[in-house]
Amino acid sequence: MLPFTIQIEDGVPVSDQVFRAVRKSILTGQLKAGDEFPSVRSLSQELRMSPTTAHKVVAQLKDAGCLASRPGIGMVVTAPKMPTRAERMKHIEPLCRAMIAEAAEMNLTLEDLIEALRHAAGRNGKPENQEKDHE
């Protein structure tokens, strides 16, 4: 079983999807520094991708500072530096575009979408789970 959540989608390279899923799991705390990471072999078997693709993902994660090799243990999660605001905004941009397209199909305006986001975020414009994290 993989220590992160992923839903593979058609049309997007699997390596990119896995990279983003692992990085998101680290940023949200699902994966923590020191956690063991699956081997290339188990990663390729679990996700039904080629070992070459799995190796590429692990290399990308190492280059990004998300994984480190520990003798006798294998790959472990590291605590990478927090991405910049611009990087975080870039990460959510595809979600925003999808929401805008869905709203347009439903004949909703950008203001309607903003209102829906504020409603979903709860009081003070922060998602409720963020408020609980800071209490």
Can you spell out the DSSP letters for 115-135?
A: HHHHHHH-GGGS-HHHHHHH-
Shared domain for 91 and 109, answered yes or no, is: yes
Domain closes at, from 46, 77, 108: 77
Contact 56, 67 (CB under 8 A): no
Domain count along the chain? 2
- The CATH number of the domain holding residue 32 is 1.10.10.10
Contact 34, 59 (CB under 8 A): no
Shared domain for 95 and 60, answered yes or no, is: no
User: Average pLDDT, whole number, for the chain?
Assistant: 85
Q: What is the pTM of this model?
A: 0.60
CA dist list (Å): 35 to 2, 73, 74, 79: 12, 10, 10, 10
> Binning pLDDT at 50, 70 and 90, where does residue 133 land?
very low
User: Could you read off the pLDDT of 44-91 as tens digits, one per residue?
Assistant: 999 999 999 999 999 999 998 899 999 888 999 997 666 788 988 888
Please give the average per-residue pLDDT across 16-36, as a whole number.
89
**Which residue segment(s) compose the domain that 48 sits in?**
14-77
Residue 60 in any domain: the answer is yes
Shared domain for 35 and 52, answered yes or no, is: yes
Shared domain for 68 and 105, answered yes or no, is: no
